[in-house]
Structure 1
């Protein structure tokens, strides 16, 4: 049976992360720890970030692996990390919400569109960043179907 793409185990609230690299590793390691990806995927997430920033605006970054990281993906999954203090992602961009993605095949494209719908609204991002429970985050993403 396939794993759920997003569960409370994949969410961390109020993380205190100093650097962009630390933030991406933290986000990726949640996917590793919960069996979605091999640990090589985290390095591919950092590689992707060097090629092009995964910052999408509204204080949101969506770290994910490079195209050749597909082999490291066991199951499609998401990790969500809130960092209310913000992390400097360079070029004056501050990230308070990290959404790590690992997609089998092309499943990540559908997931990305759902994330984009939620994160397009600044007030939604603020609600996610200020969430007091993991369930609040699950509920916000559940509404986008």
Structure 2
């Protein structure tokens, strides 16, 4: 679910949350069949309610027919981006993708909720957030993220 190539620390500057979502949706990601469709699904979900959770973190997510398997992209960038009406800017994003099924009630739906739940629990711990902020290399971040996955017993 967490993959090294989907763990990114960048000094790229983004002007809007839509730019961030577009950039992440269009990464070289073997889990995505049609990046533009996945991007559209994430933006559509984001239009329903903001995924900004505080602490400079947003968790945009979507179930999509354009995905092969579940994944989480992590991105940290130096300059924050205004995500919603809040004055606080986002500089860390966890973007979740889970394949959508025809009936909508399947193992992937449960997995989607489990990922959101475990990620939220981890982010509520200030020590975990501090470790993410202090990590300077993608490898350091990846090791932290793998602890979440290990705790999920997948």
Q: 1:87, CA displacement in angstroms?
A: 0.7
CA contact (8 A) 1:88 1:95 kept: yes
Structure 2 unaligned residues grouped into runs of 5+:
100-107
Give deviations 1:97-117, integer Å, cap 9, x for gaps: 101101232221121122112
Q: What is the aligned length?
A: 136
Q: 1:128, CA displacement in angstroms?
A: 1.6
CA contact (8 A) 2:52 2:84 kept: no
Instruction: State how far apart, in whole Å, the 2-side matches of 1:127 and 1:18 are.
Output: 26
Residue matched to 1:111: 115
CA-based RMSD: 1.7
The structure with the largest strand share of the pair is 2
Could you list the structure 1 runs, at least 4 aligned residues long, displaced by more than 6 angstroms after superposition. Answer: none
CA contact (8 A) 1:63 1:98 kept: yes
In the alignment, does 2:25 pair up with 1:24? Answer: no
CA contact (8 A) 2:41 2:64 kept: no
Instruction: State how far apart, in whole Å, the 2-side matches of 1:129 and 1:84 are.
Output: 10
Bigger Rg, which one: 2
1:6-85 → structure 2 map (5 Å cutoff): 6-14=2-10, 15-30=12-27, 33-37=28-32, 38-39=34-35, 40-65=37-62, 69-85=63-79
Structure 1 unaligned residues grouped into runs of 5+:
none
Using a 3 Å threshold, how does the CA distance of structure 1 residues 28 and 129 change in structure 2: closer, same or farther?
farther
CA contact (8 A) 2:2 2:146 kept: no
Using a 3 Å threshold, how does the CA distance of structure 1 residues 64 and 113 change in structure 2: closer, same or farther?
same
